[in-house]
Amino acid sequence: MITLKVWPTERELMLSLQEFVAAVEVERSNDLMDMLKTATHGVTISIRKVRKNHTRSQENYYRKWCNQFAKHCGMTPDEMHNELLCICYGSEEIETKFGVMRRPLHRSSGADTREYSELIDVLINVAAEMGFAVPPTPSEEDYA
């Protein structure tokens, strides 16, 4: 991520910023103009890459079958989810006052469609190894 500061004395830069926002997202240009008028100490601009998260249909599919598989195994949905995260993304053991806890190295909340597909594949494969059939995943177009 890149963070830039634009000072109120940099009028030409402020005008360029207004023009840029008006060209990219017209609906927000008035909001920006109002902000620039009252920003006595300038404004901060943050630029970061766009990252596509997993889709709602992926999450719905995963949650439905993770919950069913958890029931099959005598676990809660959260316990099963954490177990699958550890299998898929790896885990670390943390010493706590309750003893050693196993935690996944990566959470699913920030997973993109590819990473979430990997988690779904782990669910399907682990379930199959334990005699629980998870139906085939929807096609990639359904995840878009």
Convert the pLDDT of each residue in 22-81 to its tens digit: 888 878 888 888 888 888 888 888 887 776 788 999 999 999 999 999 999 999 999 999
Dihedral (Cα; 12, 14, 20, 22), 10-degree rounding: -120
Q: Residues 112, 70: one domain?
A: yes
Q: Residues 78, 11: one domain?
A: no
Q: Residues 84, 112: one domain?
A: yes
- Whole-model pTM: value is 0.63
Q: Residues 36, 104: one domain?
A: no
Q: How many domains does the chain have?
A: 2
Angstrom distance (rounded) from CA 134 to CA 125? 9
Helices (H) and strands (E) in the chain, counts: 6, 4
Range of the domain at 32: 2-47
